[in-house]
């Protein structure tokens, strides 16, 4: 993995699901009440993957982010979410690449995420669409490196319980994925590959796992 590898990231992502939007339906009963939920940071992850010469998907993560969820179990289309990501928390699995130095520091630098100027990225939903059962499509807007662009997450509502074990708090759990084109946000180092095998990809996959709790 070269030092000049770029990820291109994000909260999570311009992908349009192929399935048509259908009338609202949900898989199973939802016991969690309506309300403003906050992210349970101990049960949440935000990772990204990008093609590396067509040989593998280089994977890393952001370790500091926060999110709120306005949850309406009676009508999921009335739900909304907002996420703030501390871009300086980018973390790779192998930051020290022999004599090449600290790759995490490189990613925080001016040629990549430019954390000194753009510390945070934000994503907010603009609507929620029920595709089928517990599958959702969540269009939104991502702001990264000072650029705002439409993004969409394909999400699964894993569960919504009135009382989670141990905490005894109402909890809602989601899994979500999306894909963004780093070129849209001006992330052009290194130049996007013309083919998967010729370099670092332009498209970045975002993978989210999150539980939200309703504070007591």
Per-residue pLDDT averaged across 45-65, rounded? 96
Q: Which domains does the chain have, with CATH numbers?
A: 35-213 (2.40.128.110)
Residue 124, pLDDT > 80, answer yes
- 34-64: b (≥16 Cβ within 10 Å) or e: eeebebbeeebebebbbbbbeeeebebbbee
pTM of the entire predicted model = 0.84
Give the pLDDT band (50/70/90) at residue 29: low
| Pick from 62, 166, 160: nearest CA to 119 | 62
Tell me if 12 sits within 8 A of 49, measured CB to CB.
no
Q: What is the pLDDT of residues 146-203, one digit of tens each?
A: 999 999 999 999 999 999 999 999 999 999 999 999 999 999 989 999 888 899 999 9
Give the pLDDT band (50/70/90) at residue 98: low
Residue 77, pLDDT > 70, answer yes
Q: Report pLDDT for 6.
A: 37
């Amino acid at each position: 993995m070269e030092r000049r590898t770029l990820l291109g990231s994000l909260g999570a992502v311009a992908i349009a699901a192929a399935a048509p939007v259908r009338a609202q339906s949900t898989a199973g009963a939802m016991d969690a009440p309506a309300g403003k939920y906050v992210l349970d940071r101990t049960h949440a992850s935000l990772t990204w993957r990008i093609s590396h010469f067509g040989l593998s998907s280089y994977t890393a993560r952001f370790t500091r982010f926060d999110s709120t969820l306005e949850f309406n179990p009676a009508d999921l289309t009335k739900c909304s979410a907002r996420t703030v990501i501390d871009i300086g928390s980018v973390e790779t699995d192998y930051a020290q690449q022999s004599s090449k130095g600290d790759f995490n520091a490189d990613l925080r630098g001016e040629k990549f995420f430019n954390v000194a100027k753009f510390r945070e990225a934000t994503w907010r939903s603009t609507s929620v669409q029920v595709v089928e059962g517990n599958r959702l499509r969540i269009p939104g807007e991502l702001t990264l490196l000072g650029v705002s662009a439409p993004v969409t997450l394909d999400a699964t509502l894993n569960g919504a319980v009135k009382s989670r074990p141990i905490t005894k708090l109402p909890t809602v759990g989601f899994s979500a994925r999306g894909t963004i084109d780093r070129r849209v946000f001006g992330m052009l180092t290194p130049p996007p590959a013309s083919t998967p095998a010729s370099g670092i990809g332009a498209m970045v996959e975002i993978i989210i796992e999150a539980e939200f709790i309703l504070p007591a």
